[in-house]
Amino acid sequence: QQQVKQSPQSLIVQKGGISIINCAYENTAFDYFPWYQQFPGKGPALLIAIRPDVSEKKEGRFTISFNKSAKQFSLHIMDSQPGDSATYFCAASNSGSRLTFGEGTQLTVNP
């Protein structure tokens, strides 16, 4: 019940396209859903996060869509750029406790 399932495992997008990464969770007690971006050899960096009281949050080119009834949330990267090429992790937590991470998605944006 603590799992967070992430898909796809890898994603290739052309420059200017939309990258979409999906996550699904089981634990209905989760109340915080962040997305992290990780470049090779670096630690994860918080990209954007959402709480279940809203269905969408947008920050620049990054948008989280949240579907509470389906227990799913997704990251949309608009106008994808080669510099966005990285590994993206979704995560979930309950009241600030430990994060449960998805398996990660390796995004490649071709120029």
Q: Side chain identity at 98, as an amino acid letter?
A: R
- When the beta carbons of 30 and 36 are compared against other proteins, the nearer one is 36
DSSP 93: B
**Residue 56: its H or E element:** strand 56-59
How far apart are alpha carbons 92 and 32 in whole angstroms? 6
- When the beta carbons of 17 and 94 are compared against other proteins, the nearer one is 94
| Tokens read off for 39 | 């470049």
- From candidates 36, 66, 73, 88, binder to other proteins by CB under 8 A: 36
Q: In the complex, what is the shortest distance from the CB of residue 18 to other proteins, in angstroms, rounded to a whole number?
A: 24
Q: In the complex, what is the shortest distance from the CB of residue 5 to other proteins, in angstroms, rounded to a whole number?
A: 11
Residue 46 within binding range of other proteins, rule CB under 8 A:
yes
